[in-house]
Structure 1
């Protein structure tokens, strides 16, 4: 059967009808809001390439938390901008590191907010790479060493869990990082802390504004030896499968917008909760166009969010979270 018996427009005739048959929805519970915390007092410094996103000192974090809680946002992704950096990224696993201090403060002031701690070394190392760097004089090149990096990442994850983090989110893309962190958490008595793995993380041009925000640009070379080639899809499935076997509790695709095919493929192949990371350049491009009056920001953002959900994402990390929460209320 076909036209004129079948008329698909019958279910589009009014807003109420469209609401009744809508297949995909976005709620405030789907959102995870990234926050950048730093040292100092009275610091609320807007990130120039990310309008509306700030570096916040701990004394101003309480106000931000109150706003987040009032909007109904249940989870934040915590990034730290440290006071000092070194080759090992020791501030990442310091008991009094900025992420650890912020976590304790959040759990004291808004204990119901789920703290997802980004577990990486890049913003804490003086070279800006996500692991231990060894310079090979014979080849005149620097290599990021996998297994020694795992040891530091485990220390970081355990330190974050001790501070009160609810979820550990390793973003480093070292081989075996989920297994190492799972083992380290379990041995430290944190067997009930879940791991949100950055399973499929590409060496992407969409991270530019974030690197300004986190002060994490590599000082030499690039991250292509550990982050994925954007041209590869089958490799993404292998990465995700490895994380599932090693004990991940969530899987993630980062970036999201240019990789919705992989969100769908992971959704079809694995039954773990799936996270889409709507990254910094995806945010900044929309903000820039909206400031020029070229687009309807609200319509564009909500269409992107629906796209992520329709592709199969259960959760969305997005810098638009506060905007979306307000729009949903309206």
Structure 2
């Protein structure tokens, strides 16, 4: 295959051009990768019941996420070190994300200010660091750069043990840095001795594993940006996030990269929506690979999805812009096939789940 005809095609194309250890870093999950596989199996088990004779000749995929008009219900998920797959890194993917939110990773390989300037809609993603002063500085920088939302990832007290990276003794290559941290240094992420992941060692040195609800409440009041909490799977956790002021919740198991054996995100979604769906927007992350998955998420109660790995594969072969245009076109087709004139109609579709 020399050209992608759908979003899923990009993975095999990227495998042909990326170093094996970089491909593994992006593709891999934690532990035995049970949850990584489960995300896909669970999405495929969701069947949407389409409407017929709906009299729908055209479908409009546009919607609103966090009060902002977007071209279709997708945001680019926060993903670290995108220069691993392409020299343009985050700048290339941000420019490709026309009309949709681009979520800037705290561990981006370009400074957040440059990425925000390249994006149509920029949100900033934050991990909880040992140095609260650095957290405050990052928030202030995101506000000054024009980011319109703050997303805090709460499911990484420590990095899940990703065995592909351990077996590869994975290190960041020279020149790929955490550009938003002090002096752009990634410290230990460039050094490995034996069967260890240098990226995991770096994370352990700078992340604070003791993030709690009091910290999240402080964060909600630290800026005027709407707060999105990413990494929620339990409905009670979702209720507590709303209680401290979250404007959005992302149902996510980190793409199968954290607790192996955790529930598939799509399976956790309905209970979270039932718990808080009238109080804030709920987004789905983990395992999304195309327009059919977006429809499944909408019909299961999500306002939209975060899309990750497929866009890195497309970036790797310098085709991210085309990939997103094709995805939007595919979503329009899927909406029409389901008898839906718009995203609101998709949210009213019934679903069936195979055991």
TM-score after normalising by structure 2: 0.46
Tell which has more relative contact order, 1 or 2 (C-alpha 8 A, sep 6+). Answer: 2
Between Structure 1 and Structure 2, the one with more strand by share is: 1
TM-score after normalising by structure 1: 0.49
